[in-house]
Amino acid sequence: MSTRLSWREKLSYGIGNFGINLSFGMTGAYLMYFYTDIYGVDPGTVASLFLIARAIDGLFDPFMGLLIDRTDTRWGKHRPYLLGLALPFALCGVAVFWTPPLGDVGKIVYIFTSYTLLGMLYSGVSLPLNSMLPTLTRDARERTATNAIRETLGSGATVGIGYAALPLVHALGGDSEAHGFLLVAALLALVTIAALVLTFANTREREAPTESPQVLTTRQSVQATKGNWPWIATMLVNFCFWIGFTAHLQSFIYYARDVLRQPELVSSLMLTMLAVLVGTALSAPIANRIGKRATGIIGGGLAMAATAAIALSDAPAWLVATNIAAYLGQGLIGGLLFALMADAVDFGEWKSGFRAQGFLFAASSFGVKLGMSIGGAAGAWMLSRAGYVAGMEATPAVQAAITAGHVWFPAISFAAMAASLKLFTFPTAYAQGARTSGA
């Protein structure tokens, strides 16, 4: 019989994502600006950093997944990592916003090392949290609802810090933005540690594999990917989603300041990400009614059309409306990402006999990291090619580059994301079985 989860456990699971996403939201929205305009790093160097560092920690993800699959402790396979890596992850989230007085080469070495390490530690806490979902319950509706809470709280952290970061930086740092960013990052680190400890304490891994060995070999973990089209589809969706989301998010401050000439709009436009919470909250009931795939395709189409429409006007009301619509669409599909992967884990076990949730989630996370690296690097690379110089008036070429990174690149990515869901299908024999996903 499938387990019904208490609200305490559902909420505690989501709070872990809230803590992790505080650091993610801070770096995603402001790290490129921090590197180029505060620490004085060339945008071309930042582009290379984002691409190479994300590729490295993306390659680390499958190894982390294999480690999870081979872990067997009294606390389960996943929860020990949340407790053991909470402090290192939080401290590294502070380190990337530190500006040690170094020369040009020293700066590059420092930001490359700290940013790469942050990405690896992010995998060390996020992968166990994500892949733990199938172990909480086998009930598809309970998973969808639990994941919606997780995504709502995670998105809330991203939205909240996106909106509040700059006012907090100026309030705490005074005339020194560098000092302000460091203090804000330190405050977020404390919250992150508390959130991950709470998740460890209040969740339980209770759903053991039915026939699969408790500890898998590498070959057995890889076997669960063969012919697993739902997993391939989810990996592609993750890849395209994070290209678009990362490119759009990190260019907010440049778009408002250099294209719209209205820098005061940064916080207001960041606040439109609240629509992600609405979309995420709606994703579970809509998916339970029309299916996850159809819900995701609708969300991707809305995100694509609304993002493209942003460039049609610089009127604040229009910008707010189009961003709200775009984020609503992103929430509809974003709220389902890990529920889709949980379904793929079940299907992989049915098809291969091996329940490799750690490896499957980690391999999909490689798509996430690759998408984030491309989305982050593309915006910085376009700035570099256009001749962006921090503190200088933006030329028409720079404005065009910013618009491409903020509008057109994400819109194309969201269209590809919706198309990828066409692959999220199950064989008739499986769909009619006891573990139907409702996709």
Answer yes or no: is pLDDT of 268 > 70.
yes
Res 433: pLDDT: 61
Length of the chain: 439
Answer yes or no: is pLDDT of 230 > 80.
yes
User: Does 326 reside within a domain?
Assistant: yes
Identify the bridge partners of residue 76 per DSSP, sorted by sequence position. Answer: 73
Residue 144: band (very low, low, confident or very high) from pLDDT cuts 50, 70, 90: confident
User: Does 312 reside within a domain?
Assistant: yes
Residue 434: band (very low, low, confident or very high) from pLDDT cuts 50, 70, 90: very low
Q: What residues make up the domain containing 142?
A: 7-204+212-431
Answer yes or no: is pLDDT of 159 > 90.
no
339-397 pLDDT, tens digit each: 787 788 788 787 777 777 667 766 666 777 788 888 888 989 999 999 998 888 899 99
Res 363: pLDDT: 62
Res 172: pLDDT: 93
Res 417: pLDDT: 92
Give the Cα-Cα-Cα angle 325, 330, 335 (nearest 5 degrees): 130
Mean pLDDT of 104-113: 92
Answer yes or no: is pLDDT of 113 > 90.
yes
Res 210: pLDDT: 52
Tokens representing 227 are 């012919």
Q: Which residue type sits at 251?
A: S
Res 162: pLDDT: 85
Tokens representing 96 are 């990337």
Closest alpha carbon to 34 in 175, 169, 163: 169
User: Does 436 reside within a domain?
Assistant: no
Residue 30 CA to residue 337 CA, distance in Å, equals: 25
Number of domains in the chain: 1
Res 400: pLDDT: 95
Res 213: pLDDT: 52
278-332 pLDDT, tens digit each: 998 888 889 888 988 899 999 999 999 999 999 999 999 999 999 999 999 998 9
Tokens representing 224 are 């669960």
> 3-state DSSP helix/strand/coil percent for the chain, to nearest 5?
80, 0, 20
Answer yes or no: is pLDDT of 439 > 50.
no
Mean pLDDT of 236-255: 90
Share of the chain above pLDDT 90, in %: 42
Cα end-to-end span (Å), the chain: 21
187-221 pLDDT, tens digit each: 999 999 999 999 999 998 877 655 455 566 667 77
Residue 252 CA to residue 80 CA, distance in Å, equals: 37
Residue 372 CA to residue 353 CA, distance in Å, equals: 32
Answer yes or no: is pLDDT of 15 > 80.
yes
CB atoms within 10 A of CB 111: 25
Is the CB of residue 165 less than 8 Å from the CB of residue 184?
yes
CB atoms within 10 A of CB 379: 29
Is the CB of residue 335 less than 8 Å from the CB of residue 281?
yes
Mean pLDDT of 334-342: 79
CATH number of the domain residue 319 falls in: 1.20.1250.20
Mean pLDDT of 251-279: 90
Res 438: pLDDT: 42
User: Does 331 reside within a domain?
Assistant: yes
Among 39-43, 211-215, 269-273, 427-431, the least confident range: 211-215
User: Does 2 reside within a domain?
Assistant: no
**Locus of tokens 């994941």:** 147
Tokens representing 179 are 């000092």
* Better pLDDT: 228 or 406: 406
Average pLDDT, rounded, for the chain? 86
Answer yes or no: is pLDDT of 74 > 70.
yes
User: Does 126 reside within a domain?
Assistant: yes
User: Does 132 reside within a domain?
Assistant: yes
User: Does 40 reside within a domain?
Assistant: yes
Residue 45 CA to residue 108 CA, distance in Å, equals: 8
